[in-house]
Each structure stands twice: as structure tokens, then as C-alpha cells.
Amino acid sequence: MAVNFAALEISIEIHHNFNLITNGMAKLSAIHPEIKPDYCSSPGGPWRPAGFLWFSLALHFAALVSLILMPSFWTPALVGVGLNQLVLTLAGLWPKSRVLGPNWTRLPDPSVARGEVSITIDDGPDPEITPRVLDLLDRYGAKASFFCVAEKARCHPGLCREIVARGHSVENHSLRHRLDFAFSGYRGFLREISEAQSVLTQLSGSAPLFFRAPFGIRNPILEPVLSRLGLQLASWTRRGFDTREHDPGRVYERLVQNLAAGDILLLHDGNAALTRDGEAVILSVLPPLLEAIQKAKLSSVSLRSAQA
């Protein structure tokens, strides 16, 4: 019987969490009334829970009802809920997953038809590396999206404006790039993302349209917050692992493998690994990568250009 009560308690707790998600929009409004939805300029729009979230909600509700009406049914009910939680957790740990909501892992079809790819550059801006990255992009006539950490941008206020002045876009990569970002609830997500949005808008003169989760990890509560703030989650098609790979050749090979229109590629101007010569890896990878893109008759554009 004690087990039954424990099972019931767990199920109620999980069901409560899902209520938090489904009521998230209203609660966000109550906590931060100054944040208004901007659906007109939003690539996302009002939050519509992904199909699997509706299924999960129904499953949790069914498990709760069965525990109340048929306590002896607790084993299959708990196993079902446990497996469902496992899938939700794995989806949050897999950056390219679309189980929790919309997620750009490739460019939209019209952009693919135009022969476009998009280089995205994370974790900056960096006062030493970002200006050199901008020069390299200029040299090849390429445009990119910079997913900036707002606290870093605040320390180097001229860099965001320079990024935009050179024809690239500044996007939102959270306020502090916290290690525990994925464990945030809606208050934590809202604080990190909305403050970053405000800092980056002020510094760049243009509101970010895309958000990338620190380390690519998230939970089901992130999507309603992004919808509320008019942001679209973006991950990538391929990444070079250039925060821990010191060999630029290997990073390049990973990025150009099956290079094709629609690819979103990930590199870093912040937290970048260094080559044997003490250079940030991105500085050695960009020239051959941009040459490969040109040779394949593709053009590198920012994510916001790709959605036009």
C-alpha cells in the first residue's frame, strides 16, 4: 500500500509539472507583465505544443486516473510514465530533436532551392577572435549568424553593432551560458533569455529572431518561453566540435562531409579550442570551409536571410 501511495504521489508530481507547462503562457505573463508577445515579427508565433507533448500529457492523465480508480494497476502505469519521461529527457539531451517543439536543423526549402548554407558561430563575441572572423567572412563575401552570450556582448559593446554593420546577424545564446541552463524552470528560462534579448537588441540595434540553447540541451518548458518571446529554436546540421578538437583539419572534414544546400554549420568564436600554433581553431577552418562552399556553388547566408 505504501508503494501505491508513493506511486500516486510521483504521478501527481509529474502531472503537476505538465500543468505548469500547459499553463506556462499565462504564468509567464503574470510574472513578467512587461514582456509582450511579438507575434508579428516572430518566426514562431503562439505556442502550440508538439504532438508528442499532447501524447505525454494524455498518458500522464490516464496513469493518474488509473492509479485512483485501479490502485492495483500501478506497475504498468508507472512503467508507462517512466518510459515517457525517459523519452522526454533524451529528446532534451539530443540537440537536433524536434520532439519538444520546432527546431531548425536545416534551412527552409526556399533557401535550399536558392543553394544556401548557413554558418553559425557560437559563444562570442570575443574581442580578439570575432573581428578576425568578420574579416575572413568579408574576404569570401559570406554572411553568418552569431549566437552571442549577452554578458560577453555587454563587456565588448561595439562588437555586436560591428557584426550587424558587416551584414551578419546577432542571435540569442542566453545571458550567461550557464552549465545548468537545461535544468531551469520557466522563471529561469525567461530570466536568462529575455534579459539576453534585451541586451543584444540594445547593443546590435536589431532584435534576435533565433535562440540556441547553451550546450544544445533543454527541457519541455523552453518552447513556450521561446514562443512567448518570438524566438525560433535553431540547432545545426553538423558541428565541428571545435571547442575541444585542436586539429582544424578534423573540424573541417566534419563540416564538409556531405556538404549540401540547406546545411546549418556550427563553429565557435568563444570557448574555442586552440591549434598547435595557439590560434583559435575557427580561424584556420573558415578559409578552406568558405572555399569549399564556393566550390560547391553554394552561398553562405545568415539564418534570418534564409527564412525570407
User: Do 281 and 245 form a contact (C-beta atoms < 8 A)?
Assistant: yes
Q: How many CA atoms lie within 13 A of 127 on its CB side?
A: 6
C-beta of 21 vs 149, nearer to Zn ion: 149
| CB within 8 Å of 43: residues ≥ 6 apart | 209, 210, 230, 231, 232, 307
C-beta of 84 vs 174, nearer to Zn ion: 174
- State the residues that interact with Zn ion by CB under 5 A: 122-123, 214
Write the CA distances from 132 to 240, 245, 251, integer angstroms. 19, 20, 18
Least Cβ distance, residue 35 to Zn ion (angstroms): 24
In sequence order, what DSSP letters do the residues of 163-176 get, joined into one string?
HHHTT-EEEE--SS
C-beta of 18 vs 210, nearer to Zn ion: 210
Sign of the CA dihedral 109, 111, 115, 117?
A: negative
C-beta of 25 vs 217, nearer to Zn ion: 217
Amino acid, single-letter form, for residue 261: A
Least Cβ distance, residue 171 to Zn ion (angstroms): 11
Least Cβ distance, residue 122 to Zn ion (angstroms): 4
Smallest CA-to-CA distance from 216 within 123, 145, 81, 133 is with 123
How close are the terminal C-alpha atoms of the chain, in Å? 60
Report strand pairing: 264-268 vs 232-233.
unpaired
C-beta of 74 vs 146, nearer to Zn ion: 146
C-beta of 116 vs 171, nearer to Zn ion: 171
Neighbouring-strand partners of residue 121: 146, 267
Phi, psi for 150 (deg, rounded to 5): -60, -35
Neighbouring-strand partners of residue 104: 234
Least Cβ distance, residue 2 to Zn ion (angstroms): 45
Least Cβ distance, residue 240 to Zn ion (angstroms): 13
C-beta of 123 vs 171, nearer to Zn ion: 123
Least Cβ distance, residue 121 to Zn ion (angstroms): 10
Least Cβ distance, residue 126 to Zn ion (angstroms): 12
